Chain A
Amino acid sequence: MNCSPFDLRDYWFEELAPNERSQVETHLAACTGCRQELERLRLVGQTMRQLKDEEVPRRIAFVSDKVFEPSGPARWLRNLWPGAPRLAWSAALLLAVFFGGAWLCEPTMTVENGRWQIALGGGQARLEKALAAVEARQAAEMRNAEQAFEMVMKQVNELYKAQARPAVFQQ
């Protein structure tokens, strides 16, 4: 036991505040018992410190060594994150696919009997309409071509008939 104002062990381990340390030092100057106790602590500490640190027997692997390689998903994430331009392009592509798909599908929203219904396929109807128009135009052009052909054939026929009449009729 000691009669120091603060624990001598705290003093020796340098855990006291400066003003507490100075109080202990004032006490030590006048107390032989506490000085002896402190000397015993110092001796044990000094002996303990004779045990030197050992060198590491083998080098601890560095980050660049294989042992530090992260797992598959972690590596993928780590590679993805620093590539900001790559990330931006990927995001732009995803947006383009999304909006392109939305434009083609033309989702329509209706409320029937108080229930919301989302239907895709407006784009399909428009596509069918456009196809029908093209087909109708092609059919009309075909009809015109047939009529023109028939007219030409009729004229050729008339010419042939006129040339085939006997000479007496021609006079």
Chain B
Amino acid sequence: MIFREVEDRDLVLAARRGDVDAYNRLVSRWEKRVYNYLRRVVKDPEEALDLSQETFLKAYRYLGRLEEVDRFPQWLFRIAHNEAFSQLRRPKLETEAVAAEPTSGRAIPVAGMGIYPLELELAVAGALEQLSPEQRETVTLKVYQGFKFEEIARIQSCPVSTVKSRLYAAFELLKNVLAPVNG
């Protein structure tokens, strides 16, 4: 992890000096994580892909404004967060709205024992969909991306207490929704 941070730092500095290959390497390194974060927040894979592209494009344009080079990941996810929530705030077409009907409170129909990995994945994906976008994002940043509370607070531009309350509320909900899976 330390090595990776050092390398990211070097790549960011090189990219700032105009080294195109250095930025290409940063894209290669971070595209999967950024895409999966956006995929879980906005849910639609095509939208997630477009937003990932936009995130890297903006990061490249504003790389000179990154004050703390060591904080490139948080800064990148901050851009992705802005992209995702701008997208979520846009009014959806009627057909999309029907497709995205909330499933709040619905139990996941899975058997408790002997569950297959694919079913388990579907159950978790379904459980995540029941969270609000902010809760889903917080769970994604903590559980799947491994950021610290303070880093998440910077990405979401809110106090640490808000991050914690979002995460703990989400975990309570997930605990109930996934109860049939966990037995």
Contact = CB atoms under 8 A, between A and B. Distances in A.
Interface residues of A, number: 33
Contact of B171 (A9, A55, A63): A9
A51 B168 contact: no
Contact of B45 (A15, A40, A57, A63): A57
A56 B124 contact: no
A47 interface: yes
Contacts of A51: 121, 124-125, 128, 144
Interface stretch (B1-9, B48-56, B70-78, B89-97): B48-56
A90 B96 CA distance: 56
A5 interface: no
A47 B49 contact: no
A82 interface: yes
A152 B168 CA distance: 122
Most A-side CB within 10 Å, residue of B18, B53, B125 = B53
Contact of A52 (B56, B121, B139): B121
Contacts of A54: 35-36, 39, 45
Interface string A98-125: 0000000000000000000000000000
B143 A45 contact: yes
Given A40-B175, A56-B35, A64-B20, 19 more contacts: A9-B164, A44-B174, A49-B143, A49-B144, A50-B117, A50-B124, A51-B144, A53-B36, A53-B144, A54-B39, A56-B31, A59-B31, A60-B31, A61-B56, A61-B57, A62-B23, A63-B20, A63-B24, A64-B24
A50 B120 CA distance: 7
A62 B143 contact: no
Contacts of A55: 32
26 contacts: A9-B171, A10-B164, A13-B167, A15-B149, A44-B171, A47-B182, A48-B143, A50-B120, A51-B128, A52-B121, A53-B33, A53-B144, A54-B35, A54-B36, A54-B39, A54-B45, A55-B32, A57-B45, A59-B31, A60-B52, A61-B56, A62-B24, A63-B24, A67-B57, A68-B57, A82-B18
B85 interface: no
Nearest to B146: A14
Interface residues of B, number: 42
A63 B27 contact: yes
A157 to B, nearest CB: 89
B135 to A, nearest CB: 13
Contacts of A33: none
A34 interface: no
A48 B125 contact: no
Nearest to A53: B36
